Amino acid sequence: MALSDHLRSQLVGWAKMILPLCALALLSTLFLFARSTTEQNSITVADVEAIAREQRVSAPEFSGVTDDGAVIVVSAASARPDTTRPDTIEISDMRLRMDNADGSSVEVTATDGEVDGRAQIARFLGLARLITSNGYQMETNGLIAELATGQITSNGLLEIRAPFGYLTAGKVTFQSAVEGKAQEMLFTDGVRLLYTPQTP
């Protein structure tokens, strides 16, 4: 009986030494054979500092209601504050959708843009595309959308594809539907129309 107790105590003593060593060996093999990080999934300290310095927000969305009851939603791929203008947000892949009270809608897209919070204005910079729910497609070099009123104005010349043909104009102004009236589009500054008759 004393011999078996002595043997058991020796085995327990050896186990107390061997088992931790085995566990340590297993852990070391995990680190030894662990997959090394590649350049694609590693983030350097410089990257983290750049992200913190830029103060960029991914996939932002701003929404509101105009004085006439139209719902405006501005979304983007990313946004960051303008360091020189504290009330302005710089936006990439900018998109605006306005749903009017009469059921019509307007969508505007541009690669770059900005939102001025104090003036309540969204500016679409560079090539801007505008599509209406009643079949108009337009391209122009910049648009300005007044977020409080829903009025959208082009900065210059634009080309329009309409349900009845093609137009060019120096300027277009959209006014949201108000007091039972439908949405209005006003083309000015040298309007030209190429009428395409609809086939029955």
- Give dist(CA 145, CA 126) in Å, integer: 14
**What's the helix, strand, coil split of the chain in %, to 5?**
20, 45, 35
Read off the pLDDT of each residue in 25-33 and give the average, rounded to a whole number: 66
Walk me through the domains of the chain, giving residue ranges and CATH numbers: 58-195 (2.60.450.10)
Kindly tell me if the per-residue pLDDT of 51 is higher than 90: no
Q: Would you state the pLDDT for residue 180?
A: 61
Express each pLDDT in 106-154 by its tens digit: 999 999 999 998 899 999 999 999 999 989 999 999 999 999 888 999 9
Q: Give the confidence band of 183 by pLDDT, cuts at 50, 70, 90.
A: confident
Phi first, then psi, for residue 56 (nearest 5°) are -90, 145
Average pLDDT over all residues of the chain: 82
Read off the pLDDT of each residue in 7-14 and give the average, rounded to a whole number: 66
Question: What per-residue string of b and e applies to 40-65 under the rule 16 or more CB within 10 Å gives b?
Answer: eeeeeeeeeeeeeeeeeeeebebeee
Tokens standing for residue 106: 């307007």
Express each pLDDT in 68-107 by its tens digit: 888 999 999 998 888 888 889 999 999 999 998 888 899 9
Q: Give the confidence band of 178 by pLDDT, cuts at 50, 70, 90.
A: low
Q: Is the pLDDT higher at 91 or at 46?
A: 91
Phi first, then psi, for residue 47 (nearest 5°) are -65, -45
Q: Would you state the pLDDT for residue 6?
A: 55
